């Protein structure tokens, strides 16, 4: 029987693993900005012009000299001569002098001489070509100045920025229709085990359908990777080696499920060590669920061995695969997670020295807005217990749990 796993904490495992992953070379490509949603910026992007390029009105109303409006009110309105209208999409050819106003629309160019815009609802027509203004405006009120949004020469997106919908619009506003992004990493996914069969098959007693490769494929895709499934491999060293070597050549990262416990049938660690150097770095993490986890680097490429238990595989993938995937696709803040605070409904115990990840459900009182965190207690292998979860409560190894009515922070799925 093989020697059991040598356990390390998740943080120690990550730090050691990342010290090798830091040498990973992120590849880049040029793509059209309209297709860049969810991609990661590979080179800093510098504004080549001011946004806006000219002073603009933020409201519909009248362009004026602000000092002419000082002291006006509904009881003592100011009378102004309307000398014209600013045409949208064209340079403002009007010049405003004292006592004059010009019709202007939202986004219109502020005419020369004017330094503020009176909202249309704070004015009224008296005679043709004349208006009364009933509320004063300050200098630059209701106006966006040249370069107030972005100034020419400023870095607007740093390397490693994950582009969101608004970012695409911002890039287009600068006329940037193509940009350099990091390539999406290709992720090979291998399921091993004599008991695993394809989901299309009718199962016999002792068999289970393949859950992990499909769940992991969806997880990889949702975090910007390209999943490549390599089917189900039996517990055979030669066959597993052949598939792993093929996946190694064709991908940037390999994930293999099962074959990572202390069983004599578990060949994953042994096979990984034949793929490249230095091979297995970590075999066993002091975390529940997911203790029999493998972290490896083979000739510069990361390989992660996950437990065959679908719940354990999902939790460990959340801890290790997700940030790694975001790291190798170039994200600057690859460890950043969406979190939420709430009140724990019941006591949750944990063993000292072991990190526990507990699936939880979030509920919110509509009147008070108070959020409660309800743990899900499940048995091994029950995938339907985990899919009800909104997130995970992480219990660090230096404490023995949390008491009911304690405020805790969870990581959202």
* Predicted model pTM: 0.81
Residue 288 contacts residue 355 (beta carbons within 8 Å)? yes
Q: Do both 34 and 176 map to the same domain?
A: yes
**Are 172 and 298 members of one domain?**
no
Six-digit token string for 242: 């052949």
358, part of any domain: yes
**Tokens linked to 109:** 């160019």
Q: Strand 208-209 to strand 196-197: parallel, antiparallel, or no bridges (unpaired)?
A: parallel
The answer on 375 and 386 residing in a single domain is yes
Residues 303 and 205 both lie in one domain: yes
What CATH number is associated with residue 387?
Answer: 2.40.340.10
**Does residue 254 share a domain with residue 199?**
yes
Which CATH number belongs to the domain containing residue 251 in this structure? 3.40.980.10
262 lies in the same domain as 234: yes
Q: Is residue 134 part of a domain?
A: yes
pLDDT tens sequence for the chain (413 residues)? 334 457 888 888 989 999 898 877 888 999 999 999 999 999 999 999 999 999 999 999 999 999 999 999 999 999 999 999 999 999 999 999 999 999 999 999 999 999 999 999 999 999 889 999 999 999 999 999 999 999 999 999 999 999 999 999 999 999 999 999 999 999 999 998 888 888 888 888 888 888 889 999 999 999 999 999 998 998 888 999 999 999 999 999 999 997 555 553 468 889 999 999 999 999 888 888 888 899 999 999 999 999 888 888 888 898 899 999 999 999 988 888 889 999 999 999 988 888 899 889 999 988 888 999 999 887 666 677 778 889 999 999 888 999 999 999 998 88
User: In this structure, are 170 and 39 located in the same domain?
Assistant: yes
168: domain CATH number is: 3.90.105.10
DSSP bridge partners of 178: 32
- The answer to whether residues 84 and 108 touch, using CB atoms and an 8 Å cutoff, is no
Same domain, 37 and 168: yes
The last residue of one of the domains, among 182, 198, 228, is 182
DSSP strand pairing (278-283 vs 294-298)? antiparallel
Write the CB contacts of 127 (distance below 8 Å, at least 6 apart in sequence): none
Contacts of 256 (CB under 8 A, 6+ apart): 189, 190, 191, 192, 244, 268, 272, 303, 304, 305, 306
The total domain count for the chain is: 4
Q: Do 72 and 127 lie in a common domain?
A: yes
The reply to whether 171 falls in a domain is yes
My answer on whether 196 and 100 are in the same domain is no
Decide if 5 is inside a domain. Answer: no
Residue range(s) defining the domain that contains residue 356: 339-412
Structure tokens at 202: 């009718």
Q: Longest Cα pair distance anywhere in the chain, in angstroms? A: 100
Residue 2 lies in a domain: no
CATH number at residue 90: 2.170.190.11
333 occurs within a structural domain:
no
Q: Do 301 and 172 lie in a common domain?
A: no
Domain boundary among 144, 170, 192: 144
201 and 297 assigned to the same domain: yes
Does a structural domain hold residue 279?
yes
Q: Which of 386, 354, 38 is nearest to 212 (CA)?
A: 386
218: in domain? yes
């Amino acid at each position: 029987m093989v020697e059991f796993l040598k356990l390390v904490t998740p943080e120690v495992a990550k730090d050691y693993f990342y010290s090798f992953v830091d040498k990973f070379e992120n590849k880049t490509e040029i793509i059209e900005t309209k297709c860049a949603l969810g991609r990661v910026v590979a080179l800093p992007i510098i504004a080549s012009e001011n946004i806006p390029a000219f002073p603009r009105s933020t409201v519909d109303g009248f362009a004026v000299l602000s000092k002419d409006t000082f002291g006006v009110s509904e009881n003592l309105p100011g009378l102004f001569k309307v000398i014209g209208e600013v045409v949208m999409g064209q340079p403002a050819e009007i010049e405003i002098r004292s006592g004059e106003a010009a019709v202007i629309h939202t986004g219109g160019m502020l005419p020369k001489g004017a330094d503020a815009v009176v909202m249309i609802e704070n004015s009224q027509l008296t005679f043709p070509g004349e208006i009364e203004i009933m509320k004063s405006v300050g200098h630059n009120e209701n106006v966006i100045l040249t370069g107030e949004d972005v100034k020419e020469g400023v870095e607007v997106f740093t390397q490693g920025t994950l582009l969101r919908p608004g970012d695409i619009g911002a890039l287009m506003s600068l006329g940037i229709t193509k940009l350099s992004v990091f390539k999406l990493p290709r992720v090979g996914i291998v399921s091993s085990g004599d008991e695993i069969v394809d989901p299309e098959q009718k199962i016999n007693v002792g068999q289970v359908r393949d859950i992990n490769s499909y769940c992991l494929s969806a997880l990889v895709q949702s975090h910007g990777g390209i999943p490549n499934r390599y089917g189900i491999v039996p517990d055979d060293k030669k066959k597993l080696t052949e598939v792993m070597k093929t996946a190694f050549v064709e991908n940037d990262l390999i994930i293999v499920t099962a074959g990572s416990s202390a069983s004599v049938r578990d060949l994953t660690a042994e096979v990984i060590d034949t793929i490249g150097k230095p091979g297995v770095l970590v075999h066993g993490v002091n975390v529940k669920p997911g203790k029999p986890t493998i972290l490896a680097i083979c000739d510069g490429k990361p390989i992660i061995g996950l437990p065959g238990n679908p719940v354990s595989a999902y939790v460990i993938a959340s801890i290790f695969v997700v940030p790694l995937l975001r790291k190798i696709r170039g994200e600057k803040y690859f460890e950043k997670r969406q979190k939420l605070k709430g009140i724990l409904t019941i006591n949750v115990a944990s063993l000292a020295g072991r990190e526990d990840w507990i699936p939880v459900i979030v509920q919110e009182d509509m009147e008070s807005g108070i959020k409660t965190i309800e743990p899900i207690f499940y048995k091994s292998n029950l995938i339907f217990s985990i899919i009800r979860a909104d997130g995970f409560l992480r219990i660090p190894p230096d404490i023995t749990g949390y008491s009911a009515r304690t405020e805790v922070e969870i990581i959202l799925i």
